Amino acid sequence: MAILIQNAEVVSATETKRTNVRVEHEKIAAVGEDVVAESGDEIVDGSDQLLIPGGVDPHVHMALPFMGTVSIDDFESGTIAGIMGGTTSLIDFAIPAKGESLLETLDVWYEKSAGKAAHDYTFHMAVVDWDERIAEEIPKVVSDHGITSFKIFMAYKGVFDVNDEQIFHILEATKAAGGFVNVHAVNGDIQLMLADRFAEQGNTDTRYHALAQPPRAEGEATGRVIDLGAIVEQQVYIVHVTCEPAVERIAAARARGEPVWGETCPQYLLLDDSLYDLPDFEGAKYVLSPPLRKKKDQDVLWRALADNEISVMGTDHCAFTFSEQKQMGRDDFRLIPNGFMGLQERLPLLYTHGVTKGRISANRWVELCSTNPAKIFGLYPRKGTIEVGSDADLVLWDPAATDTISAETHFSRCDYNVYEGFETMGGPTKVWVRGELAASEGEFVGTVGRGEFVKRPPR
Ligand code: URP
Ligand code: ZN
Ligand code: ZN
């Protein structure tokens, strides 16, 4: 059956226009003021609402084996949470252990996502080592699997990290294969050394997690990988940017015309490092890497979002329960599983604190949360836009809706929410996933397993 959504303000990255959108067979079939219902169409009235392309979250970790446990949201609960917040595509990270094959790792990720996702998805391929087999596998990851983005970690020393020489090889190999690189940029040597030094001094509580990753250690690594990328003439995307020194490096590279992008996440705009001082181990709820920073860094990030120095809003959704998983590090911050939620909260938080407070326009909100990630990661124009032929991943957004974020009502499996009690303005009233209604008035009505793996073309 076809659907006509009429009278909504259709918000794209570049304009806002009252128009009608007709959906047929999973795709957008027509867009225009003169588009009218055909016989048998379901008509949806979008008066007083915005219609936006579904959010694309380029940075999530579903059921990630990490730090001795597995992140609590999988492709089922994570995609449902995303849909309930207006997100309809995600990019997870297939991460091997050192010494493991990339292609075998992909098989593990195909298996754990199969039949579970309620919306479409794809993977970044993490490279945590460098050897002959990896060199042979990288072109196959692109050509056979349609995975064009490769993730490297400069941090998590001894677990996921790669050194400068390995980074250089990975930049060259991914470029030759038609892919590019996204980077967790923090100086892993300094982080490990400081963390161990704090622990040896008996400083094991959560605030030392943040002190072991100073902003300059993030800025240094960001600048270093940007420079390595420039030598190889390879594109570089910096994930979860948190602080002024990193923004400065990205902004300088972009001003030089280099193909560099930065991503930040809601937590770095809205939460700060004073939370690590909470009593009773409550600070562990906020432990992630890089850590939360100072209020002054938040101001820098908001400005960088508005000025196009930072191009994408991700989440780094990687949630662990407080009652069990975070307790692993009760006596030693180095053992607290790193990460927390954001999939459901991303669009409402950025709308509330960005759009309604006048920091960014509604168009920029769409660009940051949907269009830019779709473009940068090769999902555009299938995703990230409302155009004839695009997937009908659509969100009807009520700008006047209000809500209060709570673990009592969120769709993540996590037993707490870092944004507990945060009030939001604006939220999705209806969400369609490839033309099928998936959320309506706060209820999930979609289909687990509807989500498909999306292959992406080489760059
Ligand atoms: O603390 C975080 N960010 N956990 C997830 C893994 C990563 O570094 O992105
Ligand atoms: Zn990371
Ligand atoms: Zn991450």
**pLDDT level of residue 17 (50, 70, 90 thresholds):** very high
Tell me phi and psi for residue 46, to 5 degrees: -100, 20
- DSSP designation for 112: H
- Taking a C-beta distance cutoff of 8 angstroms, is the pair 7, 393 a contact? no
Pairing mode, if any, of strands 69-70 and 65-66?
A: antiparallel
- Has residue 413 got a pLDDT over 80? yes
* 122: three-class secondary structure by DSSP: strand
Q: What is the pLDDT of residues 82-128, one digit of tens each?
A: 999 999 999 999 999 999 999 999 999 999 999 999 999 999 999 99
**pLDDT level of residue 359 (50, 70, 90 thresholds):** very high
- Taking a C-beta distance cutoff of 8 angstroms, is the pair 284, 336 a contact? yes
Note the residue count of the chain. 459
**Intra-chain end-to-end CA distance of the chain, in Å:** 36
- Has residue 26 got a pLDDT over 80? yes
Task: Determine the distance separating the centroid of ligand 3 and the alpha carbon of 318, expressed in angstroms.
Answer: 7
pLDDT > 70: percent of the chain = 100
For the chain, domain boundaries: 55-376
- The residue contributing the CA closest to ligand 1 atom 7 is 289
User: Out of 3.20.20.140, 1.20.1630.10, 3.40.50.300, 3.40.50.920, which CATH number does the structure's domain 55-376 have?
Assistant: 3.20.20.140
Ligand 1 site, residue 318, Cβ cutoff 6 A: yes
Q: Where are the beta strands (DSSP E) in 86-191?
A: 87-94, 120-126, 149-153, 180-184
Give the pLDDT of residue 393.
98
Tell me phi and psi for residue 353, to 5 degrees: -90, -15
Give the pLDDT of residue 1.
77
Task: Determine the distance separating the centroid of ligand 3 and the alpha carbon of 418, expressed in angstroms.
Answer: 17
Task: Determine the distance separating the centroid of ligand 1 and the alpha carbon of 5, expressed in angstroms.
Answer: 38
**pLDDT level of residue 144 (50, 70, 90 thresholds):** very high
Atom of ligand 1 nearest to the CA of 93: 9
To test the pocket of ligand 1, the residue of 315, 338, 341, 418 to mutate (highest count of ligand atoms within 8 Å of its CB) is 338
Q: What is the pLDDT of residues 382-403, one digit of tens each?
A: 999 999 999 999 999 999 999 9
- Determine the Cα–Cα distance for residues 365 and 13; give it in Å rounded to an integer: 8
To test the pocket of ligand 1, the residue of 57, 60, 61 to mutate (highest count of ligand atoms within 8 Å of its CB) is 61
Task: Determine the distance separating the centroid of ligand 1 and the alpha carbon of 290, expressed in angstroms.
Answer: 7
- Has residue 271 got a pLDDT over 80? yes
- The residue contributing the CA closest to ligand 1 atom 9 is 316
Contact residues for 82 (Cβ-Cβ < 8 A; gap 6+): 55, 57, 60, 88, 90, 119, 343, 344
Atom of ligand 1 nearest to the CA of 184: 8
Q: What is the pLDDT of residues 45-82, one digit of tens each?
A: 999 999 999 999 999 999 999 999 999 999 999 999 99
- Has residue 263 got a pLDDT over 90? yes
Ligand 1 site, residue 339, Cβ cutoff 6 A: yes
> Is the pTM for the entire model greater than 0.85?
yes
Give the pLDDT of residue 459.
87
- Has residue 333 got a pLDDT over 90? yes
Contact residues for 433 (Cβ-Cβ < 8 A; gap 6+): 54, 83, 88, 118, 119, 120, 393, 446, 450, 451
**pLDDT level of residue 294 (50, 70, 90 thresholds):** very high
**pLDDT level of residue 36 (50, 70, 90 thresholds):** very high
- Determine the Cα–Cα distance for residues 43 and 68; give it in Å rounded to an integer: 50
- The residue contributing the CA closest to ligand 1 atom 1 is 288
Give the pLDDT of residue 18.
98
Give the pLDDT of residue 47.
98
- DSSP designation for 369: I
- The residue contributing the CA closest to ligand 1 atom 8 is 289
Give the pLDDT of residue 276.
98
- Taking a C-beta distance cutoff of 8 angstroms, is the pair 78, 413 a contact? no
β-strand partners of 89: 56, 120
To test the pocket of ligand 1, the residue of 218, 267, 289 to mutate (highest count of ligand atoms within 8 Å of its CB) is 289
* The pair of three-digit structure tokens given for residue 413, joined into one six-digit string: 């499996």
Contact residues for 13 (Cβ-Cβ < 8 A; gap 6+): 363, 364, 366, 367, 370, 371, 372, 385
- Determine the Cα–Cα distance for residues 124 and 181; give it in Å rounded to an integer: 9
Measure CA 245 to chain center: 21
Ligand 1 site, residue 184, Cβ cutoff 6 A: yes
**pLDDT level of residue 302 (50, 70, 90 thresholds):** very high
